[in-house]
Structure 1
Amino acid sequence: MFKHILVPTDGSPLSVDAVVRAVSFAREAGARITFFCAVQPWPKMYYGEGAIFDPHLPASFREAMQCTAEDVLHDAERRAREAGVDCDKLTLLSEEPYQAIIEAAKRSECDLIFMASHGRRGVKALVLGSETQKVLTHSCIPVLVHRSEA
């Protein structure tokens, strides 16, 4: 049925749980996985006249974010390899993680996005927002949501 699954991860406990479940799902389905991590760019800042700014900070920030993403993806890859599931890794720079997730699924020609959800309801969901909800709303690719009570 599904042959190539995109699994977004950020290294959080909720996300790691989804990685574990996705690896199990992929093994049973005979599918391969592309693990994905969205890398946030340097935050936009607005300065008044005379603001002091180190021009090296954006590059350092980007490098630190990329290293963190690689660590997260390496852990996911290790879990898949131990389970005998073929996998790839991908990062994209994006201010909007949900857009990057959808773009990654398209680029990798995935036929399913497998992602975590906190299962927030009511005001919490409204205030905190949800990348999962945004992916569900905007993706043409099927999305399987792993809901955790954590």
Structure 2
Amino acid sequence: MYKLILIPTDGSEFAQKGVNHGLNLARSVGAKVIIVTVTEPFAIYGAAASAGWAPPLMETAAEYEASQTQAAEKTLADARAAADRLGVDAETVHIPQAHPAEAIVEVANSRHCSLIVIASHGRRGLRRLLLGSQTSEVLSSSSVPVLVVT
């Protein structure tokens, strides 16, 4: 049923629950996986600039990009090691400078994934509204089935 499973992760301990579940599912059904991490663009806040504060953007943006790339490489290496331990065929993908939910759905569609396995904090009500939810956005915009791990 599932041939190619997309597993998004941000490298957090919480996201690891989704990685573990997705890898174990892939192993049990003989599926391949794509493990993806997305790093967001450097944010420049207009209010700070209008107040007279502006960081040296080229250095700050470059430093941000370098740190994000380094973090993504570690996240993906850790996830690949977990896949290797389970004997799951895994590909890793880093999507830089993108909105996570949009990038996850795009990868799932363009690579013809049969399932997305993603972790969710399970927040409700005002906390979810204030904190946002990439999982919720993936759920609302994906044409690929989504398995949410809490």
TM over 0.5: yes
Could you tell me whether the CA contact under 8 Å between 2:33 and 2:91 is conserved in 1? yes
- Give, in whole Å, the separation in 2 of the partners of 1:42 and 1:72: 19
Could you tell me whether the CA contact under 8 Å between 1:39 and 1:94 is conserved in 2? yes
Who is 2:10 aligned against? Answer: 10
- Which structure features the higher share of helix residues? 2
Q: Which amino acid aligns with 2:11?
A: G
- Give, in whole Å, the separation in 2 of the partners of 1:128 and 1:57: 25
TM-score by length of 1: 0.91
Who is 1:98 aligned against? Answer: 101
Compute the displacement of 1:106 (Å). 2.1
> Which shows bigger deviation, 104-113 or 83-92?
104-113
Who is 2:55 aligned against? Answer: 53
Who is 1:114 aligned against? Answer: 117
Q: Which amino acid aligns with 2:34?
A: T
Pairing of 1:16-95 with structure 2 (within 5 A): 16-46=16-46, 47-48=49-50, 51-54=53-56, 55-95=58-98
- Give, in whole Å, the separation in 2 of the partners of 1:63 and 1:102: 25
Runs of 4+ in 1 over 6 A off after TM superposition: none
Q: Which amino acid aligns with 1:142?
A: P
Kindly, what percent of the aligned residue pairs are identical? Answer: 36
Task: Figure out how many residues of one structure are paired with residues of the other and give that number.
Answer: 147
- Give, in whole Å, the separation in 2 of the partners of 1:56 and 1:125: 34
Alpha-carbon spacing, 1:95–1:45, altered in 2? closer, same or farther (3 Å)? farther
Name structure 1 gaps, 5 residues minimum: none
Could you tell me whether the CA contact under 8 Å between 2:42 and 2:97 is conserved in 1? no
Secondary structure of 1:11's counterpart equals coil
Name structure 2 gaps, 5 residues minimum: none
> Which shows bigger deviation, 102-111 or 59-68?
102-111
- Give, in whole Å, the separation in 2 of the partners of 1:94 and 1:7: 19
- Tell me the C-alpha RMSD between the 2 structures: 1.6
- Give, in whole Å, the separation in 1 of the partners of 2:52 and 2:119: 44
- Give, in whole Å, the separation in 2 of the partners of 1:50 and 1:44: 13
TM-score by length of 2: 0.91
Could you tell me whether the CA contact under 8 Å between 1:90 and 1:104 is conserved in 2? no
> Which shows bigger deviation, 19-28 or 102-111?
102-111
